[in-house]
Amino acid sequence: MSDDTHGASGSGTPDPDGAPRFTDKRRLDPETGELREPATPADPLAHLDFEPEALTEVGEEPVEDTALALAESLAAERLDDLLRLQAEYVNYRKRVDRDRSVARDQTVVQIAEALIPVLDDIALARQHGELAGSPFASVAEKLEQVLARFEVQRYGEVGEEFDPKVHEALMHQHSAEVTGPTVVQVLQDGYKVGDRIVRAARVAVAEPDA
């Protein structure tokens, strides 16, 4: 072999015909003296396709789609929690308002029951003419007006039909002037708060002749 062949720095690999082949790995070009650019090795994975479409084709979801699906699932879960809490709050408000209304009605009923003896005295004084013109007349009127604001109502009138749900019959008699059980005398006024009876009206009842 020649000196040029031995002087080249590199490694030899045999050609298919058996002759050795040498690769020049010198950094400097022996002819120009310039620095050689290192050869870029070929990318063994360059022929592979890593696009999201390629992953989808083999049955795998892209990372972006997986993250989006997780985010949507979490958002839906949080929305369900929010709607449930909102419904519970609405039911709580309704229950509180209902309990407050019941407590108010019970308080008014208790006050009305405590004032019934006073109201009976006012009614008797008015029937006997002792209330008109007296200093207590204006006080009685104001008391009745305040109770009316809280739906405390007096009831029981002569001539109305007897109803055992709202009347308490203390006396019975027969009369040809009535066609059914009728209140002919109110012995004590009845009082109610709204539709709730506080005290039934105590009355005398006339029934038609047999």
- Is there a contact between 22 and 11 (Cβ–Cβ < 8 Å)? yes
pLDDT tens per residue, range 24-47: 666 666 677 666 666 555 555 555
pLDDT of residue 50: 47
What average pLDDT does range 6-32 have in this prediction?
57
pLDDT of residue 25: 65
Tell me the two tokens of residue 186: 């109110």
pLDDT of residue 185: 93
The residues facing 168 across adjacent strands are 202
Q: What are all long-range contacts of 39-46, with beta carbons under 8 Å and residues at least 24 apart? A: none
Q: How far apart are the first and last CA of the chain?
A: 155
Q: Which domains does the chain have, with CATH numbers?
A: 50-150 (no CATH), 153-210 (2.30.22.10)
Cα separation of 61 and 51, whole Å? 11
pLDDT tens per residue, range 57-77: 445 556 678 888 888 888 999
Task: Please report, for the chain, how many H helices and E strands are present, in that order.
Answer: 4, 8
pLDDT of residue 68: 85
- Listed in sequence order, the residues at least 6 apart from 26 whose beta carbon sits closer than 8 Å to its beta carbon are 8, 9, 10, 36
